[in-house]
Amino acid sequence: MRRFAEAEDLSGPVRDALGAECRIAGADRLRGGSKKGVYRVRLTGAATPSVIVYSWADEENFWPGGAAGQGTDGTDPFAPASGLEPFLAAQRLLHELGARVPRLLLADGSRQRYAADVAVVEDVPGGTLEALFRTDPATARKALSGLARTLGLMHGTLAPRYGRVDLLERGGTALGSSCEQLVLDRALRDLGEAAGRDGRISAAHGRLDGRLRTLRSRVAPRTEHGLIHGELGPDHVLVTEDGEAVLIDIEGLMYFDVEWEHVFLRLRFQQRYEALTRPALDPRRLDLYTLAMRLSLVAGPLRLLDGDFPDREFMAAIAEHNLKETLALLP
């Protein structure tokens, strides 16, 4: 049985961040996180009515095996990105670029006041961009325009090497020989896992394997890589009361082919993607990455369902939708 944090558990880091005079009125664990806990802590006696606390406790990670596996030190750009160090590295770089992220109030990896690495950040009050598309289209359009500018800054920030920003900051080198080869290798692993869990993928395994290898063979080498979020849907964009777009869940920030980001953006923003597109994307990379992304969104949710992730119906629906889209991409 997992034990999540209670209000009193979080009082130490919050008081360190805001001062001993603030009082904790309550804490709510926000739904949706699979690798860290996200808590809204309600306050009295402070300049702000609430803050957000991120907890990287083991109990908050729903992925089977936790963070164990290949590239957990950040060398594999596709390994689950979680932890205080990648969060802080991403926070620093995005702030330097002028990309809006929640203001950092405290980062504590000492585990003296709480039994896990934690960060306390501002609570952005305007809700997610995903929700505002339904409830406040005018504010959502303004935020979407701001998000496009932010992505322009990020994708135009180039580096000769790919990899997660915390790894490169430490002077490390990412696994693999190229982005496109990494994507192919990961897609073949995802294909194998998905085929072992669903008969429809198993029946199409040979055709999907061949299609992936054909698409990879058409991609030419590249020597520069842009800065990407890695999992940027409208649920990972908060919006201030003034309509400013704020990026969250940033631990996977990395230098990579921007086409990988644009495939995900296109899937998640759908008819609104046009506001975020950019010229000169490589169509051959887009073809390979689209099929690879669909396979990832089958294998990943099915893998997560091996554990005790609570929102099972939602995760199963993601896998089912992307399975059908994967098969539709076969010629």
Per cent of the chain over pLDDT 90 is 79
8-122 and 129-328 have identical folds: no
**Cα angle for residues 298, 238, 85 (degrees, 5° grid):** 70
Measured CA to CA, the distance from residue 331 to residue 322 in angstroms comes to 17
Sequence-ordered list of residues with C-beta below 8 angstroms from that of 54, at least 6 positions apart, any chain: 36, 37, 38, 39, 87, 118, 119, 120, 121
Cβ(24)–Cβ(41) under 8 Å?
Answer: yes
At residue 226, what are phi and psi to the nearest 5 degrees? -95, 170
Alpha-carbon distances of 306 from 65, 82, 241, 286, 295, rounded to whole Å: 10, 20, 39, 30, 17
Q: Which of 265, 268, 236, 233 is nearest to 250 (CA)?
A: 236
Q: Which of 233, 249, 229, 197 is nearest to 34 (CA)?
A: 249
Cβ(230)–Cβ(296) under 8 Å?
Answer: no
pLDDT at 68: 35
Sign of the alpha-carbon torsion through 315, 287, 93, 240: negative
Is residue 318 classed as helix, strand or coil in its secondary structure?
Answer: helix
Rounded to 10 deg, the angle between the 258-269 and 283-304 helix axes is: 60
pLDDT tens column, 291-326 = 999 999 999 899 888 877 777 998 899 999 999 999
Mean pLDDT, range 209-217, rounded to an integer: 98
Place of tokens 């095996």: 65
> Which pair of tokens denotes residue 317?
């629906």
> Which pair of tokens denotes residue 213?
């290898």
pLDDT at 74: 84
Q: Where are the domains of the chain?
A: 8-122, 129-328
Mean pLDDT score across all residues of the chain: 92
- The number of beta carbons lying within 10 Å of the beta carbon of residue 146 is 20
pLDDT tens column, 89-107 = 999 999 999 999 999 999 9
CATH superfamily of 8-122: Phosphorylase Kinase; domain 1 (3.30.200.20)
CATH superfamily of 129-328: Aminoglycoside phosphotransferase (APH), C-terminal lobe (3.90.1200.10)
Beta bridge partners of 29: 39
pTM metric for this prediction: 0.91
Alpha-carbon distances of 1 from 156, 170, 249, 308, rounded to whole Å: 45, 37, 26, 10
